[in-house]
Amino acid sequence: MLSLQLILGGLALVLVVVILHRNKVQRRTPHNRKIIDFHGAINFLQECTLHSRANANLHLRDAFGIMNPFVNGETYFHDQFVRYVSRQLRRVTSQWSELIHVSKMSAEQTSGMSDTTQIRNRVRVIVMSIALKIIEVDGYTTDELLRVGELIDLIWIQAKIGAPTGTHRDELHDILRRWKYNVFIETILKISDVNKAECAILSILIPAYETMYRVILPLTFHTHNKISFDHFLDPSVSESTLCSSCEEGYTYLALIQETLRRYPVVKRIKRETGHEMTSVDIAAIHLDEHIWERPEEFDPMRWMTSRRDGGYMPFGAGKGRCIANEKIVGLIVCMVLGVLEKPLRDFKSEDLRVLLVNDRGQQYGTSG
């Protein structure tokens, strides 16, 4: 009888341990939820806190060592960071001649463009050079920029699957540590309360590079030998230049908007609230057939008619909306395409279709 009681008591203890362990796992593992409705997404993102965005992106902080509003949910930090970076971005058009010079020089310093790999490399170098010029960083080499691009991709993939990133992060930081920086990065260091300039540089370089690079590549295919961007190399360019019409009858701004719709830079925006991880599926919203006619078709002309009710949110919504501005992004993208225009003329358009697949093996703008 005593043995039976001991056995039953042991089983009860095991059952309690199992239940506690299960509850512990449930507390640690957020429940996943996906939003594919535009209005539901807008309402959700407007209600979300800055901390919910930061919590969802902590793996990027740990992987890259960055400190920006994507990984830090403090309101005071967010407001200071956004205000300072936005002020710097507003100066882009006043520095247009310098940015054109940087673009042309960086293009000349890359190897030839005989295949799509070399096209990607040239775009990567030009885009990084522009971003670094805007944030007043120099002292880098072309080879370093190419390696930085490779390391960002490697670390991003490793972080996504939960693999260690320390070795590649150390190499990335070692490269950036050799670069020279000015007042802008010094101020970001103070705002971010970090003591490593490489962390401050990456905090802005990564989102700037990722945005422009992944808008330019699909546009290279869609505009090849159809649209000229040469006048974006004019020092007198302004945001109004985007509203002028191209050879195809739509504006350059419409071209940028359609690219951001069909090939969103960020496919999903994540927020972690409590024990729930919610993904706003931007790619699915941008391809919603209830909002967009022929959603899979790349058609900038759709933006020349009256706007429909929603269905477009390339930079998110609410207080956690990305700092990126489609007009500033658009101007820089058009300038880069202007620099690439002549070297690309001898390519066959169909050979450039491979640029619709990014370096991480996924087609831009597809939902997953």
pLDDT for 17:
46
Cα diameter, the chain: 95
Kindly report the CATH number assigned to the domain that includes residue 90: 1.10.630.10
The verdict on residue 4 lying in a domain is: no
Q: 279: which strand partners? A: 34, 270
pLDDT for 320:
84
Strand ranges (E), 258-356: 268-273, 276-281
C-alpha 166/C-alpha 186 separation (Å) is 25
Domain interval for residue 289: 30-356
Beta carbons within 8 Å of 86's beta carbon, 6+ residues apart: 323
The total domain count for the chain is 1
CB neighbourhood size of 72 (10 A): 21
The verdict on residue 113 lying in a domain is: yes
Tokens at residue 106, please? Answer: 């960086």
Using DSSP bridges, classify how beta strands 276-281 and 31-35 pair: parallel, antiparallel or unpaired: parallel
Question: Strand 31-35's sheet: what is its strand order?
Answer: 31-35, 276-281, 268-273
pLDDT for 27:
42
pLDDT for 18:
45
pLDDT for 45:
95
Residues of the chain with pLDDT under 70: 1-30, 306-309, 359-368
The verdict on residue 139 lying in a domain is: yes
**Can you tell me which residue has the tokens 């520095």?**
95
The verdict on residue 363 lying in a domain is: no
Do 179 and 137 touch, CB atoms closer than 8 A? yes
CA distances 265 to 115, 179, 313, 316, Å, are: 23, 27, 11, 11
The verdict on residue 176 lying in a domain is: yes
Do 215 and 221 touch, CB atoms closer than 8 A? no
pLDDT for 357:
87
